[in-house]
Structure 1
Amino acid sequence: MARVLVVEDDQDIRTLLEVRLRAAGHRVVGAGSGEAALEIVAERGAPELVVLDVSMPGRSGLEVLAQMRTDPACAAMPAIFLSGRVQPEDIAAGQALGATYLTKPVVLSALLTAIDRSLAARVGAAGGW
């Protein structure tokens, strides 16, 4: 399956996502902040897919993905945002970065479906991990 980076500041939610994604066969690394996520990518290379919370202390998920997109290895990487923010402008901002936008509380089967669809549509391969 895929190498997935989960970026979520809430430890309980991050652990739940990691466990569920591993059970689905993915190799998962979790990060508790945007800064930690960027460090992981710098050290290990681009994941095949990233799942990001939008609202986090420090850098938002939108800012983190925008920064990742400046790296050619992450430019076409599939991304999925998870957020309690459901305003049209928030969703549009996520979609403008080429990401799928799911609202919290997330239905885990919907997340797995979004991951499968994103990976199936992916062009090229990411390096690292």
Structure 2
Amino acid sequence: MALVMIMEDEPNIALVLEIALTEEGNEVISVRNGFLGLERLKQKPEPEIIFVDLNMPVLSGRAVIEYINSAPNLRHIPVVILTGSLPDLDDKPPRGSYQALINKPFDLDEVINMVNVLSGGRQKAV
């Protein structure tokens, strides 16, 4: 299974993702803003997949994604955008800078399948 990072400022959303991904055998690192996420990315081990909320305090998800894509040691990590607000989509990062975009509310089976696919695992039947 995968080491997954979740950058999400809404505690309930982060908790639901943490529980679902952990129950599937993944290890989860969860942070509440982009600044804390970048600080954690400086440590080892690095995550295999990163979920980033676009609208976060302190440092936006867009800024986080731009940093990840500019860092040679991080740009190989798949990034999945989480967003609950259509206006966020007007200011989303360029298409090549992330692997997927998930609108909130989301289907947990879809999220789990995405983690399995991006980490090289098998997809579950939905």
User: Is the TM-score greater than 0.5?
Assistant: yes
RMSD (Å) for aligned C-alpha atoms: 1.9
* Aligned twin of 2:24: 24
> Aligned partners of 1:67 and 1:39: how far apart in 2?
12
* Aligned twin of 2:8: 8
* Aligned twin of 2:56: 56
Deviation >3 Å, runs of 4+: 86-91
> Aligned partners of 2:85 and 2:117: how far apart in 1?
23
Structure 1 SS opposite 2:43:
helix
* Aligned twin of 2:124: none
How far residue 90 of structure 1 moved from its aligned partner, in angstroms, is: 4.5
* Aligned twin of 2:99: 99
How far residue 109 of structure 1 moved from its aligned partner, in angstroms, is: 0.7
> Aligned partners of 1:84 and 1:33: how far apart in 2?
16
* Alignment pair present for 1:81 and 2:81: yes
1:35-74 paired onto structure 2 within 5 Å: 35-74=35-74
> Aligned partners of 2:73 and 2:80: how far apart in 1?
17
* Unaligned runs of at least 5 residues, structure 1: 122-129
> Aligned partners of 1:61 and 1:74: how far apart in 2?
15
TM-score by length of 2: 0.84
How far residue 86 of structure 1 moved from its aligned partner, in angstroms, is: 3.3
